[in-house]
Amino acid sequence: MKFRMKSKNSTGVILVFTMIAALAGCGGKTADSGTSAASAGSGSSEAAATAPVTSEAAAVSEAATAAGEWYADVLKDDAVRAEFPYYQLLDINGDGTDELFLSSTEKAFVGAEQKAQLMTFYGGTPVILQEIGGAGGESWYYHAADNTLVYYSRLSGEAHLMLYTLSDGSLKETAKADTYEPNHGPEGTAGPETVYLLDENEVSRDQADQFWAEYKADQDAVQFTQS
């Protein structure tokens, strides 16, 4: 069975992964064992209980296994390992299927010369949700209390937090915070004082600090390990 990875991010690289042979064989083994049991108990109630697993049921079983272990095949891909030698698994929406974080660095903070990618499994296909890395620096935090993924970025004179939930194979922004130091920021916000925004509304420093302290906690930073 082949799964083609599609991207929600236009900059993401589309890759093709083939699920490991063991997955494809799971349904066949189940059906064979069911057939043997049925033959041994032919004509009895046990025979009915151990009837051969249908091809449809085997396919459902295989699909369920694939949904739970799709990332194993991604991590075995030589091209992926070369580009992203570090990874982390987190179920960021609590649906029982892990999301896969890939990174070119083991550090939680992805600098200008590095990059990281977040993937999920949706509709039978691995999907790229977000790719980070570039000028300044970026990182992810996972706020387990409300299954929220937090994206953080900083540039000279400004910093940003964006909160996301994952549903229907894509990230949905739920809130954001922006801080602009004096003489920085988009047109209409640059001035002699630091500007604090929550969902594009100007707030006090105390309000901004409270929001940032809740969602940008060091212990929540996504850490990577070598694959």
Q: Which of 40-44, 63-67, 91-95, 110-114 has the lowest mean pLDDT?
A: 40-44
| Percentage of the chain lying above the pLDDT 70 cut | 69
Give pLDDT, residue 64. Answer: 55
pLDDT digits (tens, 9 = 90+) for 3-20: 344 444 433 333 333 333
- Neighbour-count burial for 205-218, b at 16+ CB within 10 Å, e otherwise: eeebeebbeebbee
Give pLDDT, residue 178. Answer: 96
194 token code pair: 């630091």
- Quickly count: other Cβ atoms within 10 Å of residue 20's Cβ: 14
pLDDT digits (tens, 9 = 90+) for 46-86: 444 444 556 776 665 565 556 668 999 999 999 999 999 99
